[in-house]
Amino acid sequence: MAIEVRIPTILRSYTGGEKAVEGKGDTLADLFADLDARHGGLRERLVGGDGSLNRFVNVYLNDEDVRFLGGIETPVSDGDVVTILPAVAGG
Amino acid sequence: MLRIRQDLVDEIVAHARRDHPDEACGVITGPAGSDRPERCIPMLNAARSPTFFEFDSQDLFRLYRDVDDRDEEIVVIYHSHTATEAYPSRTDVQFGSLSPDSHWVLVSTRDPDEVEFRSFRIADGEVTEEPVEVLAASPLSEAAPESSPSQ
C-alpha cells in the first residue's frame, strides 16, 4: 500500500502526464520529498522557501484541507488519498 | 475566442450586481474537452472583499469532485471588479497562470448602468484578451450537438 496523490493538470508536466502518482512518508513533508525524488521539481511548486505550503495550491488529505489539519507536518499513512488543486483566487 | 450563451452572460452579470460592492466569483462548466460553457455555478467569495476573491477551499474540493463525476471541465472562471476596469490585476495573473485551460472572464460593476464583460487567457504570467461571441440563449439539450468545438 502507498499514498495516492492526485495531480492537477497544471502540474502533470512533472509526472509525465499522470493524473495520480503514489508515494510514501509519515508526514506530508516526507511525502512531497519522496515524490520529488521521482518527479523532480514538483516539491518546489507545492512548498515555499520557508517550508510551508505554497498559497497557490490547496492540498487535501482525503477530503480535508490540510491547512486545517497540521499543514505541511500533517501525518499521512498508507491508503490515504492526497489531492492537490490550484487555488482559485485573485483581486 | 469565448463563445458563450446570452443567458450565461446575464447570469454572471446579475451575480456581480448582486454582490457589489464585494467581488463576485464563480465558474461555468461544460463537457470535458468541449470548451463549451453550459452550467453556471456561482461560488461564495470566501474573502468577502471589494478587492479580492477566493473560492472557499472545501467548496473548491467539492466543485472539482462534481466536475470529475460529471465528466466536465471548468471552461470559464469568472469574477467581478467593483471599482476598476474588467482587466486582470496582478493577483489575477499570479493565480490565473495556474488555470491556463480556463477562460478568465472579468466583469466590472463600477458603472451602475453599463456592463463591461471581457475574456482573457492567462498563462505563464502573460495576459491575452480574446474576443467574446455571445450566442442566443437556447435549450442546451437541443443546442449542444450542433455547437462546433473550439478551433
- The per-residue pLDDT for range A2-56, each reduced to its tens digit, is 999 999 999 999 999 999 999 999 999 999 999 999 999 999 999 998 999 999 9
Q: Does residue A30 belong to any structural domain of this protein?
A: yes
Residue B137 has a pLDDT of: 83
Contact A89 B100 (CB under 8 A): no
Interface A-B, measured as beta-carbon pairs within 8 A, has a size of 66
Q: Does residue A28 belong to any structural domain of this protein?
A: yes
Is this complex's ipTM strictly greater than 0.85? yes
Q: Does residue A27 belong to any structural domain of this protein?
A: yes
What pTM did the predictor assign?
0.90
Residue B140 has a pLDDT of: 55
Strands (E), B82-147: 103-108, 116-123, 126-130, 132-135
CATH code for the domain in which residue A42 is found? 3.10.20.30
Q: How is residue B75 written as a grid cell?
A: 471552461
Residue B146 has a pLDDT of: 47
Contact A90 B79 (CB under 8 A): yes
Q: How is residue A50 written as a grid cell?
A: 520557508
Q: How far apart are the C-alpha atoms of B91 and B47, rounded to whole Å?
A: 14
Contact B52 A91 (CB under 8 A): yes
Q: Which candidate in B64, B77, B121 is best for mutational testing of the A interface (most A CBs within 10 A)?
A: B64
Expressed as residue numbers, the domain containing A35 is 3-86
Q: In the predicted model, what is the mean pLDDT of residues A57-71?
A: 96
- Chain A, nearest residue to B91 by Cα: A90
3-state secondary structure of B90: helix
CA-closest candidate to residue B130, choices B138, B144, B140, B120: B120
Q: How far apart are the C-alpha atoms of B97 and B115, rounded to whole Å?
A: 26
- Chain A, nearest residue to B25 by Cα: A89
**Using a CB-CB distance cutoff of 8 angstroms, which residues of chain A are in contact with residue B77?**
88
Q: Hey, what amino acid is at B98? A: L
Expressed as residue numbers, the domain containing B63 is 2-135
Q: Does residue A66 belong to any structural domain of this protein?
A: yes
Residue A6 has a pLDDT of: 97
**Using a CB-CB distance cutoff of 8 angstroms, which residues of chain B are in contact with residue A67?**
57
Q: Does residue B51 belong to any structural domain of this protein?
A: yes
Q: Does residue B147 belong to any structural domain of this protein?
A: no
Residue B139 has a pLDDT of: 63
Which is more confident, B150 or A18?
Answer: A18
pLDDT tens digits, B90-115: 999 999 999 999 999 999 999 999 99
- Chain B, nearest residue to A12 by Cα: B98
pLDDT tens digits, B26-82: 999 999 999 999 999 999 999 999 999 999 999 999 999 999 999 999 999 999 999
- Calculate what percentage of chain B has a pLDDT beyond 90: 89
pLDDT higher than 50, residue B22: yes
Q: Does residue B42 belong to any structural domain of this protein?
A: yes
pLDDT averaged over every residue in chain B: 92
Count: domains in chain A: 1
H or E element, residue B36: none
Q: Does residue A91 belong to any structural domain of this protein?
A: no
CATH code for the domain in which residue B30 is found? 3.40.140.10
Count: domains in chain B: 1
Q: In the predicted model, what is the mean pLDDT of residues A69-89?
A: 97
**Using a CB-CB distance cutoff of 8 angstroms, which residues of chain A are in contact with residue B25?**
88
